[in-house]
Structure 1
Amino acid sequence: MSSKDLPPNFKLLTIWLLIGLLIFLGFQAWERERNASRFQLAGQTIVLTRAPDGHFHWPGRVGQVDVDFLVDTGATSTALPQALAERLGLTSLGAVQSRTAGGIAEGFAARADITLDGGVSATQLVVTVLPHLDAPLLGMDVLGRLHFSQKPGELRVTPKE
């Protein structure tokens, strides 16, 4: 069967599918580049650029799982979603109540190894695990070990000396 034998509608559908695929791949590449540019390492200074959602995000890992931490200077401790804690097999150290923007949340404490891009880490950090948390929150238990300053749209983080 040659291309002359293909129905015209099939040819048109194929062209539109290829155009759609190219647009999709282009958008994926743009999104990947945009996300990568929010984290920069300049010597010992880590520069986080405000994301479109208005927050600063810091890529890292909990155990061996890649996560995108939301930097929360108002949080006393680092908090993880319960689904992530279950995936990591974290065990409860006991029940906790956490005061959130939405009120009091019931959860539990656990220990986790946190590693952030740029060389910041906390081994066996006591974290709060909350069932209805959307994303991991990086709290002052980690941020307090660092010096950070903020300019419009930018958060600069360096080790404390």
Structure 2
Amino acid sequence: MRLTVLLSAVMLFSLPIAATLAAPRVQVVGLFPGAAVINVEGQRKLVRVGQAGPGGVVVVSADTTGAVLRVEGVERRYALTRELSAGFAEPSRQQLSVAKGQGGHYWVAGSINSQSVQFLVDTGATSVAINENQARRLGIDYRVNGRQIVVGTASGNAKAWRVNLNSVKVGGIDVLGVEAVVVEGGFPADVLLGMSFLNRISWREEQGVLKLESKI
């Protein structure tokens, strides 16, 4: 009888421990106005306040130092952290060299929100810029999630929407939460890789070669 009681007590006190171990590993790895980049068990995504991300984790609020997340029904504040690999080693810097191409421009293959695109590097563009047809192909719901603005183009002023892209990637360099502008009509004809991406990495030009490097 006593052995049975002891075993029952062990099982009873083990249950909360097992539940704790089963809880997902959650980190806040990026912060933006009204949104946070969260990492849930290695899956990263930019999530707006009030919306759910990987694993059903909800971003309740976000500011410059951290975010309040609802994880399995429990709200808790998470500070901004640096992502580390499973072995807790510093991540290596990713590098990419791009040779000058047609018309003396730099062209580089990459992706937006995991959808393949061909970028034209434009240091004169303040943001990543795409036209509305490209935005539709990429599945960007700019009219719902964007903020309407007016931008100047070669043909004059045009209606546009400022949005946040979940991910912009070239080579092994992946930047989350990149500001972009979706312009009404067919301008720009090419997807412009502007300063909202370039300012988030290190880059330089040497003898006709553009060298890009991720920041840790």
Normalised to the residue count of structure 1, the TM-score between the two structures is: 0.64
Counterpart residue number, 1:156: 211
Query: Which of 131, 135, 139 is residue 194 of structure 2 equivalent to?
Result: 139
Match of 1:68 in 2: 118
Identity of aligned residues (%): 29
**2:148 is the alignment partner of 1:98:** no
Match of 1:119 in 2: 172
Counterpart Cα distance in 2 of 1:63 and 1:102: 29
Structure with the bigger percentage of helix: 1
Name the SS for the 2:137 alignment partner.
helix
Q: Give the letter for the 1:119 counterpart.
A: G
C-alpha contact 1:113 1:121 (8 A) present in aligned 2 = no
Gap regions ≥5 residues in structure 1: 1-42
Q: CA RMSD, aligned part only?
A: 2.1
CA contact (8 A) 2:175 2:200 kept: no
In the alignment, what sits opposite 2:98? 48
Deviations 1:78-123 (A, max 9, x none): 1112111112332222211123344322211223233323222233
Aligned-pair CA distance for 1:61? 0.9
1:147 is displaced (CA, Å) by: 1.7
Report the counterpart of residue 160 of structure 2 in structure 1: 107
Q: Which residue of 2 aligns with 1:58?
A: 108
List structure 1 segments (4+ residues) > 3 angstroms apart after TM superposition. 100-103
Of the two structures, which has the highest relative contact order with CA contacts closer than 8 Å and spacing of 6 or more?
Answer: 1
Q: Which residue of 2 aligns with 1:82?
A: 132
SS of match in other structure, 2:108: strand
SS of residue in 2 equivalent to 1:84:
helix
**Alpha carbons 1:148, 1:158 under 8 Å: kept:** yes
Give, in whole Å, the separation in 2 of the partners of 1:154 and 1:88. Answer: 29
122 and 158 in structure 1: CA distance in 2 versus 1, 3 angstrom threshold = closer
Shift of 1:151: 2.0
Q: Which runs of 5+ in 2 are unaligned?
A: 1-92
In 1: Cα distance, 2:102 partner to 2:138 partner? 29
Letter in 2 for 1:151: E
SS in 1 for 2:127: coil
Q: Which has the higher strand share?
A: 2
The number of residues matched between the two structures is: 119
